[in-house]
Structure 1
């Protein structure tokens, strides 16, 4: 019998990470994250009812604002050729520019542990691929 749908929760996300024996943390803001091959990845619940699951990969390679046109071109090509993760350029308040990747899924009606695991693994694996491709730009 298939697993029943459960509401998306931090506990369910942590359970999925623990089931794979992935090291992870919960920061002071309550955000769940981990580090895979030097890529910082967070797992968020977004939306009106926290029903959207987002895996956000923060690539570690730093760029300057002079690099933004090149990074826009990179992200456009990446998004054209790949489904995951969606890539975009982010400039922080201190002027550091990075590429960020996101994989998201709407679990408004609930999620099974297997469904959550599938999106989690997709976000981690493709986030690391993005980080490696971004690092090669330097």
Structure 2
């Protein structure tokens, strides 16, 4: 059974794109090389970690561009690990803040993780994530615009959190850590 795309109603969304002289927009199955090209165009530095994942480091966080799953169910994930530690005693306040962010924004969806420190008490760390199913291919323009938006939103989350907590950019340690 196949679905006829023309049978799907348009509920006020954007009209179907018209084919230009070159035909429909290209569909690609993104890979790490495509992401590297995009990061180069964005003038962002990146590294490939020991596990083969692509990462763009910032001062307060690092963003990973990962491909997971099999060929037909492959997922592209942009995951940001925020390095600023928060005290475990502040977890409720942090959760209230990230719940507010998650309600008001599309991405990244942010969650917390209690990080066991080698020395000192455990801390709360935050992780932001956005994902796209890419197994059979996606429009190149959609992939590029989504990835760029996710990177920008990851940066904006860090700025927003600093503002919400009344921190100065670069404040690294919670009071009790």
Trace 1:61-76 onto structure 2 (pairs within 5 A).
61-76=84-99
1:87 and 2:115 matched: no
Q: TM-score, with normalisation over the residues of structure 1?
A: 0.86
- For structure 2, list consecutive stretches of 5 or more residues without a partner in the other structure: 1-21, 168-177
What CA distance in whole angstroms lies between the structure 2 residues aligned with 1:24 and 1:113? 21
Q: Deviations over 1:49-91 (max 9, x none)?
A: 3721111122222112111111111111111111111011112
Trace 1:109-120 onto structure 2 (pairs within 5 A).
109-120=136-147
Q: Deviations over 1:90-128 (max 9, x none)?
A: 122322311211111111221343222212111111101
Counterpart position of 2:15? none
Q: TM-score, with normalisation over the residues of structure 2?
A: 0.69
1:59 and 2:86 matched: no
Counterpart position of 2:50? 28
Secondary structure at 2:27 match in 1: coil
Counterpart position of 2:62? 40
What CA distance in whole angstroms lies between the structure 2 residues aligned with 1:114 and 1:37? 29
Question: Which of the two has greater helix per residue?
Answer: 1
Which of 37, 47, 56 is matched with 1:15 structurally?
A: 37
Secondary structure at 1:67 match in 2: helix
What CA distance in whole angstroms lies between the structure 2 residues aligned with 1:88 and 1:67? 14
Secondary structure at 1:98 match in 2: strand
Greater length-normalized contact order (CA 8 Å, ≥ 6 residues apart): 1
Counterpart position of 1:78? 101
- Paired residues, number: 138
Counterpart position of 1:123? 150
User: Which aligned runs of 4 or more in structure 1 are off by greater than 6 angstroms?
Assistant: none
Largest Rg, 1 or 2: 2
Counterpart position of 2:5? none
RMSD: 2.0
What CA distance in whole angstroms lies between the structure 2 residues aligned with 1:59 and 1:32? 16
What CA distance in whole angstroms lies between the structure 2 residues aligned with 1:18 and 1:92? 32
What CA distance in whole angstroms lies between the structure 1 residues aligned with 2:116 and 2:137? 36
Is the Cα–Cα contact under 8 Å of residues 103 and 122 in structure 1 kept in the other structure? Answer: no
1:104 and 2:127 matched: no
